[in-house]
Copies of this chain bind each other. A is one copy, B any other.
Amino acid sequence: MAHHHPENDSKYLGLNVNKGITRPPSINPYLRQVRKDYRKIYTAQEYAEGILKGDIAVLSQAVTLVESSKPEHQVVAQAIIEKCLPASGKSIRVGITGVPGSGKSTSIDAFGMHLIEQGHRLAVLAIDPSSERSKGSILGDKTRMEKLSVDKNAFIRPSPSAGSLGGVARKTRETIILCEAAGFDYIFVETVGVGQSETAVHSMVDFFLLIQLAGTGDELQGIKRGIMEMADGIIINKADGDNIDKAKMAARHFKNALHLYPLSESGWSPEVLTYSGYYKIGIKEVWNMVHRFIDFVKESGYFDRKRNEQSKYWMYETINERLKNDFYRNPFIESLMPKLEADVLSARKSSFVAAKEALDAYYDQDN
At the interface, yes or no: A345 with Cβ under 8 Å from chain B? Answer: yes
Closest to A311 in B: B344
- Asked if residues B224 and A351 are in contact (CB atoms below 8 Å), the reply is no
A260 pairs with B220, CB closer than 8 A: yes
CB of A217 within 8 Å of the partner chain: yes
As a 0/1 sequence over residues 307 to 344 of chain A, the CB contacts with chain B under 8 angstroms (1 = contact) are: 01001111110111011100100000000000011001
Does A367 sit at the interface, judged by CB under 8 A? yes
Which B residues are CB-close (under 8 A) to A253? 256, 259-260
Instruction: Decide: A228 and B344 in contact? CB cutoff 8 A.
Output: no
Q: Please tell me if the beta carbons of A262 and B225 are within 8 angstroms of each other in the complex.
A: yes
Count of residues in A whose CB is under 8 Å from the partner chain: 70
Whether A262 lies near B221 (C-beta < 8 A) is yes
A13 sits at the interface (CB 8 A): no
B352 touches A170 (CB 8 A): yes
| A101 within 8 Å of B (CB atoms) | no
Tell me which residues across on chain B come within 8 A of A217, comparing CB atoms: 259-260
Kindly state whether residue A116 has any CB partner on chain B within 8 Å.
no
Chain A 340-359 interface 0/1 with B at a Cβ cutoff of 8 Å (1 = within)? 11001101111111111011
Interface residues of A in 203-234 (CB under 8 A from B): 217, 220-226, 228-229
CB neighbours of A85 from chain B (8 A): 347-350
Contact in complex: A324, B323 (CB < 8 Å): yes
Chain A, range 232-266, C-beta contacts under 8 Å to B? 253-254, 256-257, 259-264
Q: Which residue of B lies closest to A88 (CB)?
A: B347
> A68-91: which residues lie under 8 A (CB-CB) from chain B?
78, 81-82, 85-86, 88-89
**Complex contacts, A225 vs chain B, CB 8 Å:** 229, 261-262, 264
Collect the chain B residues with CB atoms within 8 Å of residue A347's CB. Answer: 85-86, 88-89, 311
Query: A301 at interface (Cβ–Cβ under 8 A)?
Result: no
Contacts of A322 in B (CB 8 A): 355, 359
Beyond A23-B363, A23-B367, 18 extra complex contacts between A and B, CB < 8 Å: A26-B356, A27-B356, A78-B356, A81-B350, A81-B352, A82-B350, A85-B347, A85-B348, A225-B262, A226-B226, A253-B259, A254-B260, A256-B257, A311-B347, A312-B351, A313-B351, A320-B324, A323-B323
Across the A-B interface, the 5 shortest Cβ-Cβ residue pairs: A318-B355, A314-B351, A257-B257, A315-B351, A257-B260
